[in-house]
């Protein structure tokens, strides 16, 4: 069954946007209606049956706009199917699952979401932003460790999970209010030079 899915992400250097886009593409291939946008550009959450939220990790923390999104929408998210992911580790640690920051873990518990899935990240000279990132990107840690096969497999699991009957919420069976509200709006040009547009499919960098 076709579901309406929102994939939102918080990024600084574009890697997490690429992951979110790949997830959106896979869900679309699974027959779902998907919008992919930055957290700040999301339309009303009540429009969607399922929401996927991802953030880049910096100094073990989520981007503040992603935390704000969780906090602001805690009630709507509690009544929908929600998945979380974060993008971070590179180099020798690229396969290490990262703990959710405490504030994110607290919000995830309130929402009833399972812990965030970790995807390896990217740090490269061409896309690095900020003094520290540019400096690290000159060293041997610099690489694009994003694992597109693993990301697609995760999205496929979600696709299968939402295709069945909707979960029961405290108020009865979930049903998204599809009637109103603007769709998400593009927020920025990605660090890898592509324009991220609401609902559009782009090839991951």
**Residue 132 in contact with ligand FMN, rule: CB under 6 A:** yes
**Residue 198 in contact with ligand FMN, rule: CB under 6 A:** no
Closest among 86, 84, 82 to 3, alpha carbons compared: 82
**Closer by beta carbon to ligand FMN, 16 or else 81:** 16
**Residue 54 in contact with ligand FMN, rule: CB under 6 A:** no
Total residues interacting with ligand FMN, rule: CB under 6 A: 22
Give the C-alpha separation, 121 to 146, whole Å: 5
**Closer by beta carbon to ligand FMN, 169 or else 194:** 194
**Residue 15 in contact with ligand FMN, rule: CB under 6 A:** yes
Out of 66, 82, 111, 123, name the contact with ligand FMN by CB under 6 A: 123
**Residue 108 in contact with ligand FMN, rule: CB under 6 A:** no
Out of 31, 60, 160, 199, name the contact with ligand FMN by CB under 6 A: 60
Write down the least CB distance from residue 104 to ligand FMN, Å.
13
**Residue 97 in contact with ligand FMN, rule: CB under 6 A:** no
Region near ligand FMN per CB under 6 A, out of 24-32, 39-47, 56-64, 75-83: 56-64
**Residue 202 in contact with ligand FMN, rule: CB under 6 A:** no
Contact predicate 101/108, CB 8 Å: no
Contact positions vs ligand FMN (CB under 6 A): 11-16, 56-60, 87-90, 98, 121-123, 132-133, 136
């Amino acid at each position: 069954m076709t579901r309406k899915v929102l994939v939102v992400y918080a990024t600084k250097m574009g890697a997490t946007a690429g992951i979110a886009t790949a997830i959106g593409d896979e869900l679309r291939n699974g027959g779902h209606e998907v919008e992919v946008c930055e957290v700040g550009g999301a339309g009303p959450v009540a429009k969607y049956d399922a929401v996927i939220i991802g953030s880049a990790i910096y100094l073990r923390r989520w981007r503040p706009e992603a935390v704000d999104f969780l906090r602001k929408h805690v009630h709507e998210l509690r009544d929908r199917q929600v998945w979380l992911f974060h993008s971070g580790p590179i180099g020798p640690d690229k396969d290490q699952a990262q703990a959710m920051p405490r504030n994110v873990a607290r919000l995830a518990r309130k929402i009833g979401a399972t812990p965030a899935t970790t995807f390896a990240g990217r740090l490269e000279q061409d896309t690095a932003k900020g003094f520290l990132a540019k400096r690290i990107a000159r060293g041997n840690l610099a690489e694009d460790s994003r694992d597109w096969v693993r990301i697609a497999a995760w999205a496929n699991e979600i696709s299968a999970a939402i295709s069945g009957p909707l979960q029961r919420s405290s108020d009865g069976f979930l049903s998204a209010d599809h009637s109103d509200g603007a769709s998400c709006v593009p927020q920025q040009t990605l660090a890898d030079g592509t324009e991220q547009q609401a609902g559009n499919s782009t090839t991951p960098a």
